[in-house]
Amino acid sequence: MAIEKIGRNPVEQDVYTDEMLLNMGPQHPSTHGVLRLLLRTDGEIVLEATPHIGYLHRCAEKIGEKVTARQFIPYTDRLDYLASMNMNLGWALAVEKLLGLEVSKKTQHLRVIMCELNRIASHLVAACTYGLDLGSFTPFVWAFREREKIVNLFESVCGARLTYSYLTVGGVTADLPNGWLGECEGFLDQFNRSVDELHALLTSNAIFIRRTAGIGVLSPEMAIAYGCTGPVLRGSGVDWDLRRDGDPWYTQMYDGYEFDIIAETNGRYPNYQDYPPIPSVAVLGDCWHRFYVRMLEVMQSIRIIRQAMDRYSSADGEVGGPVKIKEKLAKGQVYLETEAPKGQMGFMVVGNGTAIPWRTRIRSSSFCNLSVTSELCRGCLIGDMPAVVGSLDIVLGEIDR
């Protein structure tokens, strides 16, 4: 492989230096948990990056075969602990599909509110820790301030601030408390301004653009070949979102909602005039685009939540409660993927007529997204490593399960 091929980095090799094996992690500030990247470097140039995972393995799938379907909900919280609501939803929908249990419309709208709120929270963490990876500390605190408000909303709903276990098989654990919708409305009203602040600090910052544009370019073909999903896939310009394109059992939740799938088509994003322009140095599929897609998806989530709140308050009927804890599962198998903030989260559950699933399997979006790391990092600089890994937005709890 010639030097031209290692890409856009203007670094030439001038001295015969030793290759160095470098352990980035598992205790490293920018690997987002306990990821270990084994780097083979020549000076500052990364020749090869091999992710080593498994430091957070907790046998989640095996546990799923030892407890009943409803008892497994708290374990799903701990998969992607930054988007527990979406994890709950994925498992709940899969089990409900196996049970053939359809929840009420009102419950569905409530679930949409929660999932989209949690998507905002997850994307905020992704965006702010990305700033941290690039050495900018302030957006981290600003984004966490906003996330804190979402977490407060969740806390008043279910009492927990990280592991909610709120969406459960059969519905939700409890209906919304009084006045919650007003609080949520208040949050959304002031949230636009905070997103603009983040755009100013990161998206349109010259240094941020120089650090991310053109780095870690993931072509659409490669993204599809590696099974990348979520913002990573859409950042490469693939118009694919399970909320629109997924299993009907899942997409019926979003029936009639107006929202855009954030993916670049013909060099433009939906509603592009409302957001900072795409810098000329950015290449489709680079770190900047992945970041940008997340920032724009946050705005779409706000749209969805506003619609969902209207529908929730106008919907008749009751919100569904959880099923019996030892609800017997039907015989058969169900595999359902949902659009979690980090990508497609798939749950497979095989029932054999007892309350405890015979088989539980989880398809992790971060796992597939992480697998492109070695491809993206080949030939980049050590300074680009946090930029690339951070833009994939991985959560080790989900990868290691």
Partner 1 sequence: MEMINWHTCFFLLFALISCGFAIAIVASSNVVRMAFYLIITLGSVAGLFFLAGADFIGAVQLMVYVGGTLVLLVFGVMLTARSPFVSMRTGGSQWILATIVGGSLLVILLQAAFSVENWSGERIVQTTSAQQQISPTSTKIGLSLIGLRVDQLEQQDETLRAGMSGYLLVFEIISVHLLVVLVGAAYLARAKRRPLKEPSNSKL
Partner 2 sequence: MAEYLSQYIPYWIAYALIGLIQAGLLLALMLVTVAVFTWVERKVSARIQDRLGPTRRGGRFGWLQPPADGIKLLLKEDLVPKNADAFFFRIAPYICFCTTLCVFMAIPFADGWVAERLNTGIFFVLAIAGLGVFGVVMAGYSSGSKWSLFGAMREATQVISYEVPMAMALVVPVMVAGTMDLVTIGNMQAGWFTNWFIFHDPFTFIVFWVYFTCAVASTNRAPFDLPEAESELVAGFMTEYSGFRWAIFFMAEYGSMLVVSCLAVILFFGAWNGPIPVTQFLGLTNDLHPIAGFAANLLGLANCLIKACICMTVIVWVRWSLPRLRIDQVMATCWKYCVPLAAAMLLGAMLWSYAFPAGLLFRNQAFGYASEKSDVMSDIKNGKVARAEKGGRQTWK
Residue with tokens 């301030």: 145
User: Between 6 and 355, whose beta carbon lies closer to partner 1?
Assistant: 6
Identify which of 120, 122, 142, 121 has the alpha carbon closest to the alpha carbon of residue 131. 142
From the CB of 225, what's the least distance to partner 2, in Å? 28
Give the footprint of partner 2 on this chain (CB under 8 A).
Answer: 9-11, 20, 22, 28-30, 44, 131-138, 141-142, 145, 201-202, 205, 207-208, 210-211, 381-386
145 binds, among partner 2, partner 1, none (CB under 5 to 8 A by kind): partner 2
385 binds, among partner 2, partner 1, none (CB under 5 to 8 A by kind): partner 2
38 binds, among partner 1, partner 2, none (CB under 5 to 8 A by kind): partner 1
The answer to whether 10 contacts partner 1 (rule: CB under 8 A) is no
208 binds, among partner 2, partner 1, none (CB under 5 to 8 A by kind): partner 2
Is there a contact between 176 and 157 (Cβ–Cβ < 8 Å)?
Answer: yes
Binding pattern for the stretch 50-69 against partner 1, x by CB under 8 A and - elsewhere: x-------------------
Is there a contact between 329 and 349 (Cβ–Cβ < 8 Å)?
Answer: yes
From the CB of 233, what's the least distance to partner 1, in Å? 25
The answer to whether 40 contacts partner 1 (rule: CB under 8 A) is yes
The answer to whether 265 contacts partner 1 (rule: CB under 8 A) is no
Residue 208: DSSP 8-state: H
Q: For partner 1, which residue of 9, 33, 38, 227 counts as binding (CB under 8 A)?
A: 38
18 binds, among partner 2, partner 1, none (CB under 5 to 8 A by kind): partner 1
Q: Under DSSP, is residue 362 helix (H, G, I), strand (E, B) or coil?
A: strand
User: Between 194 and 374, whose beta carbon lies closer to partner 1?
Assistant: 374
User: What are the structure tokens assigned to 301, written together?
Assistant: 């989530």
250 Cβ contact list (under 8 Å, min separation 6): 93, 242, 243, 336, 337, 338, 339
Q: Is the dihedral of CA 165, 184, 259, 280 positive or negative?
A: negative
Stretch that binds partner 1, among 5-13, 155-163, 178-186, 259-267 (CB under 8 A): 5-13
**H helices of 134-202, where?**
138-158, 180-198
Site for partner 1 in 324-383 (CB under 8 A): 378-379
Whole-number Å distance between alpha carbons of 171 and 318: 10
Whole-number Å distance between alpha carbons of 66 and 310: 40
Please name the helix (run of DSSP H) or strand (run of DSSP E) that holds residue 199, with its range, or none.
none
Is there a contact between 338 and 328 (Cβ–Cβ < 8 Å)?
Answer: no
User: Between 92 and 377, whose beta carbon lies closer to partner 2?
Assistant: 377
Q: Which residue(s) pair with 349 in the sheet? A: 334, 360
Whole-number Å distance between alpha carbons of 123 and 290: 11
- What residues line the site for partner 1 (CB under 8 A)? 1-3, 5-6, 12-15, 17-19, 21, 23, 38, 40, 42, 47-48, 50, 378-379
